[in-house]
Amino acid sequence: MNSIEQLISYLNDSGEETRAGAVRRLGELKDSRAIDFLLKAYKDETYTMQIAEAPPGVKASVILALSQIGGERARSEILKILKGTIEIGPREETKIMCYDNLFGDILDYAVRFLSNWKDDEVYKLFYYMATSETSSLAEYDDPRIYAYMYFIRREMDLKGISTIKGRVDYLVDQYPDTYSGMIRPGISSVETIIKKGIGCNLTEMGMDAAPFLKARIDKMPQSPKKICLNGELNSIRFMAEQRYTPTWVRPW
């Protein structure tokens, strides 16, 4: 078993795989003494796009390691890294800066970890993330979807909406009325992020939500919104039949 001191020495190795492996091992040890060295490794590393199915690189591994170590210090540092990519202004002017340099695993690990924290700072940051435009093509599992899921759940908590029916009604009311179709570069992706975040929250509630969602859908006139919500209802039923646990389930 490698000691912390030995693993820290590997952070200066010339091989990226060795550095990334050392970072991941430091995370597994969950020793807060490694945090400063991990942060230095993050700052020193030049981000490179990872090949699909390849182990996460150094920067992504640092975020993962910090989340494994956990605690207030890790939260604070991950929040700083995430904030450093966002230029906050009026909603229509807010945008994620250098999103392509904080893509995939890096942003995903950060959002997943921070979603465990119920506080106003994370709440506001996730709202800005989820409603910001980027130059990147949004994917089905875009981490901004998780950010919006957190935001909308926190909204329901703050409003005291705790029953399944109350949550279904709130989510249906928040669901966008229009349909933008597939995302293309240069076309707004905010609506799609909102739809997917709400849809994930609905699906996660499972069959308990199905009768309340169906009752709302039955009362709606034919519209793109009704068609989309019918799709969410079918997803709930399908996942219940398959006994499938969504990968986006959050620990709170």
- Report pTM: 0.72
Phi then psi dihedrals of residue 87, to 5 deg: -105, 105
**Nearest alpha carbon to residue 183 among 175, 193, 174, 197:** 193
Instruction: Say if CB 129 and CB 147 are below 8 A apart.
Output: yes
Residue 242 has pLDDT above 80, yes or no: no
Least confident of 101-105, 117-121, 239-243, 245-249: 245-249
Q: What are the angstrom distances between the C-alpha of 236 and each of 35, 67, 203? A: 41, 30, 5
pLDDT in tens, 188-211: 577 888 888 899 899 889 899 999
pLDDT in tens, 26-75: 999 999 999 999 999 988 876 555 444 455 688 889 999 999 999 999 99
Instruction: Say if CB 208 and CB 164 are below 8 A apart.
Output: yes
pLDDT in tens, 102-154: 455 777 888 889 988 888 888 888 888 777 765 444 454 577 788 889 999 99
Task: Enumerate the CATH 1.25.10.10 domain ranges in the chain, comma separated.
Answer: 1-69
**Which CATH topology does 1-69 take?**
Leucine-rich Repeat Variant (1.25.10)
